Amino acid sequence: MKIKKISPIADADFEQLCFDFGIELDDVTSERLMKEKELGSAKDTSKLSDEVIYKIEIPANRYDLLCEEGLSRALNIFLGRQDAPTYKIDNSKTKQLLKINVKKETGSIRKFVVGAVLRNITFTEDAYNSFIDLQEKLHQNICRKRTLVAIGTHDLDVIEGPFTYEALPPKEIKFIPLDRTELMDADELFAFIEKKGSEMKHLSPYTKIIKDSPVYPVILDAKRRVLSLPPIINGDHSKIKMSTKNVFIECTATDLTKAKVVLNTVVTMFSEHCSVPFTVEQVEIVYEDKTQSKDEPTPILDNVEFTTNSDYINSRIGLNLSAQQIAEILTKMQLNATVTQNNELRVLAPPTRSDVLHACDIMEDVAIAHGYNNIPITFPKSSTVGKENELNQLSEMVRLELAMSGYTEVLSLILCNDEENFKYMNRVNDGKTAIAVAEPCPFEFKTARISLIPGLLKTLQSNKSLPLPIKLFECGDVILVDDSKDVGAKNNRRLAALFSSATSGLELIHGLVDRVMEVLAVPFEVEHSQSVDKHCFSIFPSNDISFLPGRQADIFYKGKKIGIFGIIHPEVASNFGLKTPVSVFEIELEPFQ
């Protein structure tokens, strides 16, 4: 991020401060120097400012440091110049909370929304620019280019609640977009954005997020005036100006957790400009469909409590601090810590510190607050020589072999949903086969994959427009239930490949299995018994419901089934939206270590 130098601190001292705090000063420049670097010294840049600008690299999970307010606040607290603020909910200025009524139709496109109000705010030019800049940084970072969350900010004094969050056909959404003068419906707006040379061309990457949907999300006030068309643009009627005194903030999202983090970040950063600093007014969210999400007021600015102890922290860092000393230095990192009767540390993380998820994050903050340069230098208690893990070496070898065989590697997500693991594969979920994720968010990531095949089929579905044949492979871990492990599960490294064309290509997949075994120096034996512990592999008839009957085989190695190959059952292919025949194989790699 870029900030203007407003303190007389020397550049070298500021660079050291950034290092001590765990961030990096990338460059000391100015508007004129940046333009000269971009256009060359031959261009006239005399009218540009020479005011010093710091370019600072911020950790990706520290959203509270993405604006001048948050960064300066954090550094001043780190230096002991100010105390960490207490963020408060203040609903006293309204008789009844503003409401956002969420219609059930939004569940098909962007199902969540959160909101807040900043009362009696005063914008200076710098604060106004920072307010706009923070939203854009959040959109590019945690919001994943507005796919997960889109922020809308509005002048509350020119709109009326209660507000509604709806999903309407594009032709029914008519408004004047931000900084425009002409009335448009959503279709006309999208056409204008995508028009060559359009002044709104910068919005074109976001139109594809909702363009193919029959309905678009829209925020309306009590008079049916359009406040925003998320995740594209706000309406001009409610735009924020420097004279704005009361700000209404809404965040629509596909990920509710991310939406709450984004909202908390915006309100905690800019509530310092309110007449009563660090106070925020809540907005009540009411869902028409109660299965979509629960009704609740937002934001929730409660501290999150963690428990750890000095032994854990000292052993990881190499220090010998008491619990009380650790509690004292954690205040430099905006963490409020107290020592319990059991000599444990009770640590409260404020809403600005959404990056604190575990005791290890607290340990890292202790190391930063204590100072990395102040950690005693010691010799390690053991001397070892590192080498690549044997399983990873084996994986690299087979990955290279399949790539040389003309197959394209894919990397699919380890987390998936129940349908991909079971229903789409014609399997029944017995509740004991796959590891389930508690409180998954987003909901699609509900279980850990138990096979690589669904990921390959899903990738094929997304690329079925490519010319045939399509040849894909993946080498990665699946997660299996294992009660003998302390966590109740284990990773299992596997290799899978897929061939799709006008014909099944079963003979090609069979040949690829033979080639992999040849590379692994495992001979084939036709008469090899399933029960014989012998260094060879064989194939036997299989009856897997995910594959076409009579066109599948189990692969055995040393008397144990390690994989399968065959033609995917037409019902399975149809479940994944595939119309061409597909052949696959999947084998375990760990037996070959």
**Domain for residue 75, yes or no?**
no
Segment 411-429 shows an average pLDDT of 85
**Domain for residue 69, yes or no?**
no
Q: Indicate whether 555 pLDDT > 70.
A: yes
Segment 96-125 shows an average pLDDT of 95
Domain end marker among 374, 403, 419 = 374
- Which of 232, 269, 283, 279 is closest to 134 using CA atoms? 269
Q: Indicate whether 528 pLDDT > 70.
A: no
How many domains does one find in the chain? 4
Cβ atoms of residues 500 and 468 within 8 Å: yes
Cβ atoms of residues 221 and 156 within 8 Å: no
In sequence order, what DSSP letters do the residues of 28-56 get, joined into one string?
A: EEEHHHHHHHHH-TTS--TTS---EEEEE
Q: Indicate whether 258 pLDDT > 60.
A: yes
pLDDT of 401: 92
The C-alpha atoms of residue 579 and residue 136 are separated, in whole angstroms, by 42
**What are the residue ranges of helices labelled H in 331-472?**
359-370, 390-404, 418-421, 453-462
Identify the CATH number of the domain in which residue 21 sits: 3.30.56.10
371, exposed or middle or buried, with CB in 10 Å at 0-12, 13-18, 19+? exposed
The two structure tokens encoding residue 150: 């889109």
**Domain for residue 220, yes or no?**
yes
Q: What percent of the chain has pLDDT over 90?
A: 62
The C-alpha atoms of residue 100 and residue 92 are separated, in whole angstroms, by 19
Q: Coil, helix or strand for 382?
A: coil
Question: What confidence tier does 380 reach under pLDDT thresholds 50, 70, 90?
Answer: confident
Identify the CATH number of the domain in which residue 455 sits: 3.30.930.10
For residues 26 and 108, membership in a common domain is answered with no
pLDDT of 1: 57
Angle between helices 68-78 and 125-140 (to 10 degrees): 100
For residues 394 and 367, membership in a common domain is answered with no
Question: What confidence tier does 481 reach under pLDDT thresholds 50, 70, 90?
Answer: confident
For residues 440 and 575, membership in a common domain is answered with yes
In sequence order, what DSSP letters do the residues of 453-504 get, joined into one string?
A: HHHHHHHHHHTTTSPSPEEEEEEEEEEEE-TTSTTSEEEEEEEEEEEESSS-
| Element at 510 (helix H, strand E) | helix 506-519
Dump pLDDT digits (tens) for 37-63.
Answer: 766 665 666 677 777 788 888 998 999
Cβ atoms of residues 178 and 236 within 8 Å: yes
CB burial of 332-341 (b: ≥16 within 10 Å; e: otherwise) equals bbbbbbebee
Q: Among the listed ranges 380-384, 404-408, 558-562, which one has the minimum average pLDDT value?
A: 380-384
Domain end marker among 265, 298, 331 = 298
The C-alpha atoms of residue 521 and residue 412 are separated, in whole angstroms, by 28
Q: Indicate whether 3 pLDDT > 70.
A: no
For residues 239 and 158, membership in a common domain is answered with yes
Q: Indicate whether 582 pLDDT > 60.
A: yes
What is the average pLDDT score of the chain? Answer: 89
Question: What confidence tier does 7 reach under pLDDT thresholds 50, 70, 90?
Answer: low
Identify the CATH number of the domain in which residue 165 sits: 3.50.40.10
For residues 462 and 531, membership in a common domain is answered with yes
Segment 469-498 shows an average pLDDT of 89
Query: Which tops the pLDDT comparison, 449 or 532?
Result: 449
Q: Coil, helix or strand for 402?
A: helix
Cβ atoms of residues 156 and 195 within 8 Å: no
Enumerate residues 6+ apart whose C-beta is below 8 A from 430: none
For residues 151 and 247, membership in a common domain is answered with yes
Segment 16-45 shows an average pLDDT of 77
CA 313 to chain centre: 28
Domain that holds residue 553: 390-592
| Element at 216 (helix H, strand E) | strand 216-220
Q: Which residues pair with 524 in a beta bridge?
A: 537
pLDDT of 27: 82
Segment 453-480 shows an average pLDDT of 90
For residues 476 and 568, membership in a common domain is answered with yes
Dump pLDDT digits (tens) for 138-149.
Answer: 999 999 999 999
**Domain for residue 64, yes or no?**
no
Segment 98-106 shows an average pLDDT of 95
For residues 316 and 261, membership in a common domain is answered with no
Segment 208-221 shows an average pLDDT of 94
Could you give the angle at the alpha carbon of 346 between the alpha carbons of 340 and 350, nearest 5°?
150
Q: Coil, helix or strand for 307?
A: strand
Q: Indicate whether 90 pLDDT > 70.
A: yes
Segment 536-546 shows an average pLDDT of 88
**Domain for residue 381, yes or no?**
no
**Domain for residue 67, yes or no?**
no
Domain end marker among 298, 316, 351 = 298
The two structure tokens encoding residue 182: 């002409």
Q: Which residues pair with 568 in a beta bridge?
A: 547
Enumerate residues 6+ apart whose C-beta is below 8 A from 429: 418, 421, 422, 423
Question: What confidence tier does 187 reach under pLDDT thresholds 50, 70, 90?
Answer: very high
For residues 97 and 136, membership in a common domain is answered with yes
**Domain for residue 279, yes or no?**
yes
CA dihedral 4, 9, 12, 16 (to 10 degrees): -90
**Domain for residue 575, yes or no?**
yes
| Element at 68 (helix H, strand E) | helix 68-78
Q: Indicate whether 405 pLDDT > 70.
A: yes
Segment 274-282 shows an average pLDDT of 95
Helix/strand/coil (H/E/C) assignment for every residue in 107-125: HHCCCEEEEEEECCECCCH
- Which of 392, 423, 306 is closest to 356 using CA atoms? 306
CB atoms near residue 59 (< 10 Å): 11
Read off φ and ψ for residue 389, nearest 5 degrees: -60, 135
Q: Among the listed ranges 7-21, 38-52, 228-242, which one has the minimum average pLDDT value?
A: 38-52
For residues 231 and 167, membership in a common domain is answered with yes
Q: Among the listed ranges 78-87, 436-445, 570-579, which one has the minimum average pLDDT value?
A: 436-445
The C-alpha atoms of residue 185 and residue 178 are separated, in whole angstroms, by 13
The C-alpha atoms of residue 444 and residue 200 are separated, in whole angstroms, by 33
Q: Cis omega (within 30 of 0) on the bond before 469?
A: yes
The C-alpha atoms of residue 319 and residue 376 are separated, in whole angstroms, by 7
Question: What confidence tier does 11 reach under pLDDT thresholds 50, 70, 90?
Answer: confident
pLDDT of 151: 97
Question: What confidence tier does 84 reach under pLDDT thresholds 50, 70, 90?
Answer: very high
For residues 223 and 328, membership in a common domain is answered with no
For residues 471 and 518, membership in a common domain is answered with yes
Enumerate residues 6+ apart whose C-beta is below 8 A from 579: 464, 573
Q: Helix count (H) and strand count (E) of the chain?
A: 15, 28
- Half-sphere exposure (CA, 13 Å, Cβ side) for 4? 10
Question: What confidence tier does 256 reach under pLDDT thresholds 50, 70, 90?
Answer: very high
Could you give the angle at the alpha carbon of 586 between the alpha carbons of 580 and 587, nearest 5°?
165
Distances (CA, A) of 548 to 123, 300, 494, 552, 581: 67, 53, 22, 7, 10
Dump pLDDT digits (tens) for 283-341.
Answer: 999 999 999 999 999 999 999 999 999 999 999 999 999 999 999 999 999 999 999 98
Segment 208-236 shows an average pLDDT of 94
Enumerate residues 6+ apart whose C-beta is below 8 A from 518: none
